[in-house]
Structure 1
Protein backbone atom coordinates (compact mmCIF):
# COMPACT_ATOMS: atom_id res chain seq x y z
CA UNK A 1 0.00 0.00 0.00
CA UNK A 2 1.25 3.45 -0.87
CA UNK A 3 1.10 5.94 2.01
CA UNK A 4 1.17 9.68 1.46
CA UNK A 5 3.05 10.12 4.74
CA UNK A 6 5.35 7.64 6.43
CA UNK A 7 4.25 5.36 9.25
CA UNK A 8 6.42 7.31 11.69
CA UNK A 9 4.79 10.57 10.57
CA UNK A 10 1.37 8.97 10.95
CA UNK A 11 2.28 7.89 14.49
CA UNK A 12 3.48 11.42 15.30
CA UNK A 13 0.24 12.83 13.89
CA UNK A 14 -1.88 10.58 16.12
CA UNK A 15 0.19 11.48 19.18
CA UNK A 16 -0.05 15.23 18.51
CA UNK A 17 -3.80 15.05 17.95
CA UNK A 18 -4.32 13.05 21.14
CA UNK A 19 -2.11 15.41 23.15
CA UNK A 20 -3.70 18.56 21.78
CA UNK A 21 -7.31 17.45 22.02
CA UNK A 22 -7.34 14.78 24.72
CA UNK A 23 -4.53 12.98 26.61
CA UNK A 24 -1.65 10.72 25.61
CA UNK A 25 0.84 9.10 27.98
CA UNK A 26 3.95 8.26 25.96
CA UNK A 27 5.56 6.30 28.78
CA UNK A 28 2.69 3.81 29.03
CA UNK A 29 0.94 4.00 25.68
CA UNK A 30 3.52 4.57 22.94
CA UNK A 31 4.34 0.92 22.27
CA UNK A 32 0.64 -0.03 22.34
CA UNK A 33 -0.07 2.70 19.81
CA UNK A 34 2.80 1.69 17.50
CA UNK A 35 1.91 -2.00 17.43
CA UNK A 36 -1.77 -1.21 16.95
CA UNK A 37 -1.02 1.15 14.06
CA UNK A 38 0.82 -1.70 12.32
CA UNK A 39 -2.25 -3.93 12.59
CA UNK A 40 -4.67 -1.13 11.69
CA UNK A 41 -2.72 -0.30 8.53
CA UNK A 42 -2.92 -3.92 7.38
CA UNK A 43 -6.69 -3.75 7.84
CA UNK A 44 -6.80 -0.46 5.93
CA UNK A 45 -4.83 -1.99 3.07
CA UNK A 46 -7.12 -5.01 2.92
CA UNK A 47 -10.17 -2.75 2.95
CA UNK A 48 -8.86 -0.33 0.33
CA UNK A 49 -7.95 -3.24 -1.95
CA UNK A 50 -11.69 -3.60 -2.59
CA UNK A 51 -12.59 0.10 -2.52
CA UNK A 52 -13.50 1.38 -5.98
CA UNK A 53 -13.97 5.05 -5.07
CA UNK A 54 -11.62 7.61 -6.55
CA UNK A 55 -8.58 8.53 -4.44
CA UNK A 56 -8.32 5.11 -2.77
CA UNK A 57 -5.87 3.66 -5.27
CA UNK A 58 -3.09 4.68 -7.60
CA UNK A 59 -2.13 2.47 -10.55
CA UNK A 60 -4.12 -0.43 -9.07
CA UNK A 61 -2.31 -0.11 -5.75
CA UNK A 62 -4.15 0.85 -2.53
CA UNK A 63 -3.48 4.43 -1.48
CA UNK A 64 -3.80 5.79 2.07
CA UNK A 65 -3.82 9.54 2.55
CA UNK A 66 -4.11 10.54 6.20
CA UNK A 67 -5.31 13.96 5.04
CA UNK A 68 -8.28 12.51 3.20
CA UNK A 69 -10.84 12.73 5.98
CA UNK A 70 -12.85 9.70 4.84
CA UNK A 71 -9.72 7.56 4.74
CA UNK A 72 -8.54 8.81 8.11
CA UNK A 73 -11.97 8.03 9.56
CA UNK A 74 -11.54 4.40 8.51
CA UNK A 75 -8.00 4.29 9.92
CA UNK A 76 -9.01 5.68 13.32
CA UNK A 77 -11.91 3.22 13.53
CA UNK A 78 -9.54 0.31 12.83
CA UNK A 79 -7.01 1.71 15.30
CA UNK A 80 -9.48 1.95 18.18
CA UNK A 81 -11.02 -1.42 17.28
CA UNK A 82 -7.56 -3.04 17.18
CA UNK A 83 -6.55 -1.65 20.57
CA UNK A 84 -9.76 -3.03 22.05
CA UNK A 85 -9.44 -6.43 20.35
CA UNK A 86 -5.82 -6.79 21.45
CA UNK A 87 -6.97 -6.51 25.06
CA UNK A 88 -5.20 -3.25 25.79
CA UNK A 89 -6.65 -0.71 28.24
CA UNK A 90 -9.95 0.57 26.94
CA UNK A 91 -9.04 4.11 27.93
CA UNK A 92 -6.76 4.52 24.89
CA UNK A 93 -9.38 2.96 22.59
CA UNK A 94 -11.93 5.36 24.10
CA UNK A 95 -9.75 8.37 23.31
CA UNK A 96 -9.08 7.35 19.72
CA UNK A 97 -12.79 6.66 19.21
CA UNK A 98 -13.46 10.10 20.70
CA UNK A 99 -10.79 11.64 18.46
CA UNK A 100 -12.60 10.23 15.43
CA UNK A 101 -15.83 11.86 16.61
CA UNK A 102 -14.09 15.20 17.19
CA UNK A 103 -12.35 15.26 13.81
CA UNK A 104 -15.02 13.73 11.59
CA UNK A 105 -18.40 14.02 13.38
CA UNK A 106 -18.98 10.30 12.96
CA UNK A 107 -19.74 7.73 15.66
CA UNK A 108 -17.93 4.43 15.00
CA UNK A 109 -17.58 2.75 18.38
CA UNK A 110 -14.63 0.39 18.65
CA UNK A 111 -16.80 -2.51 19.86
CA UNK A 112 -18.85 -2.38 16.66
CA UNK A 113 -17.40 -4.95 14.25
CA UNK A 114 -17.64 -3.58 10.76
CA UNK A 115 -16.83 -6.10 8.00
CA UNK A 116 -13.52 -6.46 6.19
CA UNK A 117 -14.94 -4.67 3.16
CA UNK A 118 -16.97 -1.54 3.77
CA UNK A 119 -17.04 1.89 2.20
CA UNK A 120 -18.09 5.21 3.68
CA UNK A 121 -18.50 8.50 1.88
CA UNK A 122 -18.75 11.86 3.63
CA UNK A 123 -20.04 10.17 6.81
CA UNK A 124 -20.65 13.32 8.86
CA UNK A 125 -23.45 12.87 11.37
CA UNK A 126 -23.61 9.09 11.01
CA UNK A 127 -24.01 6.81 14.02
CA UNK A 128 -23.19 3.23 13.11
CA UNK A 129 -24.13 1.28 16.21
CA UNK A 130 -24.24 -2.32 17.29
CA UNK A 131 -25.45 -4.76 14.70
CA UNK A 132 -24.20 -7.64 12.58
CA UNK A 133 -22.52 -6.41 9.40
CA UNK A 134 -21.54 -8.39 6.31
CA UNK A 135 -19.14 -7.52 3.50
CA UNK A 136 -19.75 -4.81 0.91
CA UNK A 137 -21.50 -2.47 3.35
CA UNK A 138 -21.80 1.20 2.44
CA UNK A 139 -23.03 4.25 4.31
CA UNK A 140 -23.07 7.99 3.69
CA UNK A 141 -23.87 11.05 5.77
CA UNK A 142 -26.35 11.26 8.63
CA UNK A 143 -27.10 7.52 8.67
CA UNK A 144 -28.14 5.65 11.81
CA UNK A 145 -27.91 2.01 12.85
CA UNK A 146 -29.20 1.32 16.34
CA UNK A 147 -31.04 -0.94 18.72
CA UNK A 148 -34.65 -1.06 19.85
CA UNK A 149 -35.96 -3.01 22.84
CA UNK A 150 -32.78 -5.06 23.05
CA UNK A 151 -32.63 -5.97 19.35
CA UNK A 152 -30.11 -4.76 16.79
CA UNK A 153 -30.15 -5.03 12.98
CA UNK A 154 -28.53 -7.73 10.85
CA UNK A 155 -27.11 -6.80 7.45
CA UNK A 156 -26.45 -9.37 4.76
CA UNK A 157 -23.94 -8.69 1.98
CA UNK A 158 -24.17 -5.70 -0.32
CA UNK A 159 -26.24 -3.22 1.65
CA UNK A 160 -26.10 0.54 1.09
CA UNK A 161 -27.43 3.15 3.50
CA UNK A 162 -27.94 6.40 1.65
CA UNK A 163 -28.02 9.88 3.16
CA UNK A 164 -30.24 10.24 6.21
CA UNK A 165 -31.39 6.63 6.27
CA UNK A 166 -31.98 4.71 9.50
CA UNK A 167 -32.16 1.02 10.36
CA UNK A 168 -33.01 0.12 13.95
CA UNK A 169 -34.22 -2.74 16.06
CA UNK A 170 -35.15 -6.27 15.02
CA UNK A 171 -34.51 -5.79 11.31
CA UNK A 172 -32.74 -8.04 8.82
CA UNK A 173 -31.63 -6.40 5.60
CA UNK A 174 -31.15 -8.96 2.85
CA UNK A 175 -28.47 -9.27 0.20
CA UNK A 176 -28.43 -6.59 -2.47
CA UNK A 177 -30.41 -3.85 -0.75
CA UNK A 178 -30.38 -0.08 -0.95
CA UNK A 179 -31.99 1.89 1.88
CA UNK A 180 -32.83 5.12 0.10
CA UNK A 181 -32.24 8.64 1.37
CA UNK A 182 -34.20 9.42 4.55
CA UNK A 183 -35.85 5.99 4.71
CA UNK A 184 -36.51 4.65 8.22
CA UNK A 185 -36.58 0.89 8.75
CA UNK A 186 -37.68 -0.21 12.22
CA UNK A 187 -38.22 -3.83 13.30
CA UNK A 188 -38.74 -4.88 9.68
CA UNK A 189 -37.11 -7.54 7.49
CA UNK A 190 -36.20 -6.48 3.97
CA UNK A 191 -36.00 -9.18 1.26
CA UNK A 192 -33.07 -9.62 -1.09
CA UNK A 193 -32.75 -7.37 -4.15
CA UNK A 194 -34.76 -4.47 -2.76
CA UNK A 195 -34.75 -0.69 -2.77
CA UNK A 196 -36.51 0.71 0.29
CA UNK A 197 -38.37 4.01 0.58
CA UNK A 198 -40.45 5.63 3.30
CA UNK A 199 -40.91 4.96 6.99
CA UNK A 200 -41.87 1.84 8.94
CA UNK A 201 -44.49 0.47 9.14
CA UNK A 202 -45.46 2.03 5.80
CA UNK A 203 -42.38 1.20 3.78
CA UNK A 204 -42.35 1.01 0.01
CA UNK A 205 -40.16 -1.91 -1.07
CA UNK A 206 -39.32 -2.19 -4.75
CA UNK A 207 -37.71 -5.33 -6.10
CA UNK A 208 -35.04 -5.00 -8.78
CA UNK A 209 -33.14 -7.56 -10.86
CA UNK A 210 -29.95 -8.89 -9.33
CA UNK A 211 -27.99 -7.32 -12.20
CA UNK A 212 -29.08 -3.86 -11.06
CA UNK A 213 -27.34 -4.32 -7.72
CA UNK A 214 -24.28 -5.94 -9.27
CA UNK A 215 -23.82 -2.78 -11.31
CA UNK A 216 -24.48 -0.52 -8.33
CA UNK A 217 -22.06 -2.20 -5.92
CA UNK A 218 -19.35 -2.69 -8.53
CA UNK A 219 -19.10 1.12 -8.57
CA UNK A 220 -18.22 1.00 -4.88
CA UNK A 221 -16.06 -2.13 -4.66
CA UNK A 222 -13.25 -3.69 -6.69
CA UNK A 223 -13.41 -7.42 -7.31
CA UNK A 224 -17.10 -7.43 -6.60
CA UNK A 225 -18.25 -11.02 -6.31
CA UNK A 226 -21.46 -12.85 -5.41
Structure 2
Protein backbone atom coordinates (compact mmCIF):
# COMPACT_ATOMS: atom_id res chain seq x y z
CA UNK A 1 0.00 0.00 0.00
CA UNK A 2 1.46 3.35 -1.05
CA UNK A 3 0.50 5.26 2.11
CA UNK A 4 2.47 2.86 4.30
CA UNK A 5 5.37 2.93 1.82
CA UNK A 6 5.34 6.75 1.89
CA UNK A 7 5.44 6.81 5.68
CA UNK A 8 8.28 4.26 5.86
CA UNK A 9 10.45 6.13 3.35
CA UNK A 10 9.64 9.46 5.02
CA UNK A 11 10.85 8.12 8.36
CA UNK A 12 14.02 6.76 6.74
CA UNK A 13 14.92 10.08 5.12
CA UNK A 14 13.88 12.55 7.83
CA UNK A 15 15.92 12.14 11.02
CA UNK A 16 13.98 14.96 12.71
CA UNK A 17 10.73 12.98 12.65
CA UNK A 18 10.36 10.58 15.56
CA UNK A 19 7.29 8.51 14.68
CA UNK A 20 4.96 7.48 11.90
CA UNK A 21 2.14 9.33 13.66
CA UNK A 22 4.18 12.55 13.76
CA UNK A 23 5.01 12.22 10.06
CA UNK A 24 1.39 11.45 9.17
CA UNK A 25 0.06 14.46 11.06
CA UNK A 26 2.73 17.10 10.43
CA UNK A 27 4.53 16.57 7.12
CA UNK A 28 3.48 19.10 4.47
CA UNK A 29 5.58 17.25 1.87
CA UNK A 30 3.71 14.03 2.53
CA UNK A 31 0.33 15.80 2.46
CA UNK A 32 1.20 17.56 -0.81
CA UNK A 33 2.16 14.24 -2.43
CA UNK A 34 -1.04 12.54 -1.31
CA UNK A 35 -3.22 15.41 -2.57
CA UNK A 36 -1.21 15.47 -5.81
CA UNK A 37 -2.01 11.79 -6.38
CA UNK A 38 -5.76 12.44 -6.15
CA UNK A 39 -5.45 15.53 -8.37
CA UNK A 40 -3.35 13.55 -10.88
CA UNK A 41 -6.07 10.90 -11.22
CA UNK A 42 -8.63 13.64 -11.80
CA UNK A 43 -6.28 15.19 -14.39
CA UNK A 44 -5.97 11.87 -16.25
CA UNK A 45 -9.77 11.50 -16.18
CA UNK A 46 -9.95 14.95 -17.87
CA UNK A 47 -11.46 16.71 -14.82
CA UNK A 48 -8.90 19.44 -15.40
CA UNK A 49 -10.52 22.33 -13.53
CA UNK A 50 -11.36 20.18 -10.50
CA UNK A 51 -7.81 18.78 -10.41
CA UNK A 52 -6.32 22.30 -10.61
CA UNK A 53 -8.64 23.47 -7.83
CA UNK A 54 -7.48 20.59 -5.62
CA UNK A 55 -3.87 21.36 -6.50
CA UNK A 56 -4.36 25.02 -5.55
CA UNK A 57 -5.94 24.00 -2.26
CA UNK A 58 -2.88 21.85 -1.53
CA UNK A 59 -0.60 24.77 -2.43
CA UNK A 60 -2.49 27.01 0.01
CA UNK A 61 -2.16 24.52 2.87
CA UNK A 62 1.36 23.18 2.25
CA UNK A 63 3.19 25.94 0.31
CA UNK A 64 4.12 23.23 -2.19
CA UNK A 65 2.91 23.53 -5.78
CA UNK A 66 2.68 20.31 -7.78
CA UNK A 67 0.85 20.56 -11.08
CA UNK A 68 -1.60 17.66 -11.41
CA UNK A 69 -0.25 16.88 -14.87
CA UNK A 70 3.23 16.07 -13.56
CA UNK A 71 4.23 12.40 -13.35
CA UNK A 72 5.81 11.32 -10.06
CA UNK A 73 7.24 7.91 -9.17
CA UNK A 74 7.21 5.95 -5.94
CA UNK A 75 8.87 6.79 -2.63
CA UNK A 76 9.15 10.48 -3.46
CA UNK A 77 10.05 12.58 -0.40
CA UNK A 78 9.79 16.35 -0.10
CA UNK A 79 11.67 17.43 3.04
CA UNK A 80 10.58 20.78 4.51
CA UNK A 81 8.87 21.56 1.22
CA UNK A 82 8.08 25.27 1.37
CA UNK A 83 8.56 26.87 -2.02
CA UNK A 84 8.71 23.67 -4.08
CA UNK A 85 7.28 24.09 -7.60
CA UNK A 86 6.83 21.14 -9.96
CA UNK A 87 5.59 22.01 -13.45
CA UNK A 88 2.97 20.29 -15.59
CA UNK A 89 5.24 18.25 -17.87
CA UNK A 90 7.82 17.33 -15.21
CA UNK A 91 8.57 13.64 -14.75
CA UNK A 92 10.11 12.41 -11.49
CA UNK A 93 11.44 8.88 -11.05
CA UNK A 94 11.43 6.61 -8.00
CA UNK A 95 13.26 7.24 -4.72
CA UNK A 96 13.80 10.97 -5.31
CA UNK A 97 14.57 13.23 -2.34
CA UNK A 98 13.73 16.91 -2.78
CA UNK A 99 14.42 19.71 -0.31
CA UNK A 100 12.65 23.06 0.08
CA UNK A 101 12.67 25.72 -2.58
CA UNK A 102 13.30 23.38 -5.52
CA UNK A 103 11.82 24.39 -8.89
CA UNK A 104 11.24 22.05 -11.82
CA UNK A 105 10.37 24.82 -14.25
CA UNK A 106 9.88 25.42 -17.93
CA UNK A 107 11.51 27.94 -20.22
CA UNK A 108 9.38 27.66 -23.35
CA UNK A 109 5.70 27.76 -24.16
CA UNK A 110 5.88 24.36 -25.88
CA UNK A 111 2.74 22.59 -24.66
CA UNK A 112 4.23 19.11 -25.12
CA UNK A 113 7.32 18.87 -22.89
CA UNK A 114 8.84 21.93 -21.26
CA UNK A 115 9.86 20.75 -17.77
CA UNK A 116 12.67 18.49 -16.52
CA UNK A 117 12.74 14.71 -16.34
CA UNK A 118 14.39 13.50 -13.14
CA UNK A 119 15.70 9.93 -12.95
CA UNK A 120 15.64 7.46 -10.07
CA UNK A 121 17.54 7.93 -6.78
CA UNK A 122 18.20 11.65 -7.34
CA UNK A 123 18.70 14.20 -4.56
CA UNK A 124 17.71 17.79 -5.27
CA UNK A 125 19.27 20.24 -2.81
CA UNK A 126 17.49 23.19 -1.21
CA UNK A 127 16.79 26.03 -3.62
CA UNK A 128 18.00 24.19 -6.70
CA UNK A 129 16.41 25.10 -10.02
CA UNK A 130 16.08 22.67 -12.93
CA UNK A 131 14.85 24.60 -15.93
CA UNK A 132 13.63 23.39 -19.30
CA UNK A 133 13.16 20.06 -21.06
CA UNK A 134 16.32 18.49 -19.62
CA UNK A 135 17.10 15.02 -18.31
CA UNK A 136 18.70 14.40 -14.93
CA UNK A 137 20.10 10.88 -15.01
CA UNK A 138 19.75 8.20 -12.34
CA UNK A 139 21.81 8.51 -9.14
CA UNK A 140 22.54 12.23 -9.58
CA UNK A 141 22.69 14.98 -6.98
CA UNK A 142 22.01 18.68 -7.45
CA UNK A 143 23.57 20.92 -4.82
CA UNK A 144 21.80 23.65 -2.90
CA UNK A 145 20.95 26.68 -5.04
CA UNK A 146 22.43 25.11 -8.18
CA UNK A 147 20.82 26.11 -11.47
CA UNK A 148 20.73 23.30 -14.03
CA UNK A 149 19.76 24.02 -17.64
CA UNK A 150 21.53 21.11 -19.37
CA UNK A 151 21.23 17.33 -19.22
CA UNK A 152 23.10 15.55 -16.42
CA UNK A 153 24.54 12.10 -17.14
CA UNK A 154 23.83 9.35 -14.59
CA UNK A 155 25.93 9.51 -11.43
CA UNK A 156 26.95 13.17 -11.69
CA UNK A 157 26.72 16.08 -9.25
CA UNK A 158 25.78 19.66 -10.17
CA UNK A 159 26.89 22.59 -8.02
CA UNK A 160 26.75 26.35 -8.43
CA UNK A 161 25.30 28.44 -11.21
CA UNK A 162 26.60 30.27 -14.23
CA UNK A 163 25.67 33.91 -13.76
CA UNK A 164 26.77 36.53 -16.27
CA UNK A 165 27.30 40.19 -15.47
CA UNK A 166 25.72 42.69 -17.84
CA UNK A 167 26.58 46.36 -18.09
CA UNK A 168 23.32 48.26 -17.64
CA UNK A 169 24.81 51.78 -17.97
CA UNK A 170 24.14 53.67 -21.19
CA UNK A 171 22.22 52.56 -24.24
CA UNK A 172 24.03 49.28 -24.90
CA UNK A 173 23.98 46.03 -23.00
CA UNK A 174 27.09 43.90 -23.08
CA UNK A 175 28.66 41.09 -21.09
CA UNK A 176 31.38 42.21 -18.71
TM-score (norm 1): 0.60
Q: 1:83 to 1:113 in 2, by over 3 A?
A: same
* Structure with higher helix content: 1
Offset of 1:68 from its aligned partner? 3.2
- Match of residue 196, structure 1, among 132, 137, 158: 158
- Match of residue 100, structure 1, among 58, 68, 88: 58
Offset of 1:98 from its aligned partner? 0.9
The equivalent residue for 2:6 is 47
The answer for unaligned runs of 5 or more in structure 1 is 1-41, 203-226
Offset of 1:72 from its aligned partner? 1.7
Q: Is the 8 A contact 2:77 2:95 kept in 1?
A: yes
Q: Is the 8 A contact 1:168 1:185 kept in 2?
A: yes
- Match of residue 81, structure 2, among 117, 123, 126: 123
The answer for unaligned runs of 5 or more in structure 2 is 165-176
TM-align CA RMSD: 2.6
Offset of 1:168 from its aligned partner? 1.0
Q: 1:56 to 1:45 in 2, by over 3 A?
A: farther
Q: Could you give the per-residue CA deviations for residues 102-141 of structure 1, whole angstroms, max 9, x where no partner exists?
A: 1111111111111122111011111111222211112111
Runs of 4+ aligned residues of structure 1 deviating over 6 Å after TM superposition are none
Offset of 1:155 from its aligned partner? 1.6
